[in-house]
Amino acid sequence: MTAEPRALTVLDLPAMKAAGRRVVVLTCYDAAFARLLEDAGVDVLLVGDSLNQVLAGHETTLSATLDQMIYHAASVRRGARRALIFVDLPFLTYQVSIEDAIRNAGRVLQESGAHGVKLEGGRHMGETVRALVDRGIPVMGHLGLTPQSVHALGGYRVQGREPEAAGRLLADAKVLEDAGACAIVLELLPADVAAKISASLTIPTIGIGAGPGCDGQVLVLHDMLGLNDRFNPKFLKRFAELGEAVRSAVRAYATEVRDGRYPGSEHSF
């Protein structure tokens, strides 16, 4: 009988980087997909506030609520036994005060069973990250294109193209590492900038649109499965075309219902 793989811990993340093992991350919002992703060997399930766009149809992540994040994180936790689960803290649940950040991050861990939280921002979030880590709450950082600041950044565009901006991002990453972050997402950065940041840290970087020099990669699950087939950024590779598979299956179902072929005798009591 094959032993079940042990559950990962936050301490495994820097160890994976030191061993040269890439960290596999995908977004996840429910128990059913959590089981499938874990069975396929995903290391980290990120309950992203992208659910506001992917599941709820909003244009940005900004209106996601803490209760929404906790609900979906608890669903993911019920489907996963081995993978690490990190949860995005939504807009204005951690930026107003350190006390808010502690209270809200604590709620996430207490009510969902997740292992840690992710928050956006660089040096100005250093004290907040330190306060959370000091209280036993693991934190993943997020630099580059930070979706909660999409309006201030002028839209979804590559960050760090100019040397001065790249230097600020490198300094921000060091602040987050020094504050105790266990990993940092790098989103929409030039590949050489992301590689330089990755090489300067002992904690892993998780790239999305940041090239191959990161220590791991993350994609939005529905994007990489082809379920969101209207979204076509340069960095995205679809590993399946499930959107068309769903359409085809539903068309077949609808045809059989209308023709009276489903349910048949084999489906009846």
Q: Is the dihedral of CA 168, 170, 173, 177 positive or negative?
A: negative
Give the Cα separation of 134 and 7 in Å (integer).
23
How big is the chain by its Cα radius of gyration, in Å?
20
Closest CA to 70 of 34, 32, 108: 108
Query: 128, 110, 123, 222: which is closest to 169 by C-alpha?
Result: 123
How far apart, in Å, are the Cα atoms of 142 and each of 48, 120, 184?
Answer: 12, 5, 5
Q: Which residue has the tokens 């989103």?
A: 187
CA-wise closest residue to 173 among 185, 159, 189, 163: 185
* 111 given a catalytic annotation: no
Q: How far apart are CA 123 and CA 198, in angstroms?
A: 17
Residue 127: partners with Cβ closer than 8 Å, 6 or more residues away: 98, 179
Closest among 185, 164, 64 to 122, alpha carbons compared: 185
Given 4, 187, 244, 266, the catalytic residue: 187
Q: Distance between CA 247 and CA 239 in Å, rounded?
A: 17
Listed residue (113, 108, 104) closest to 131, CA to CA = 104
Active site residues: 187
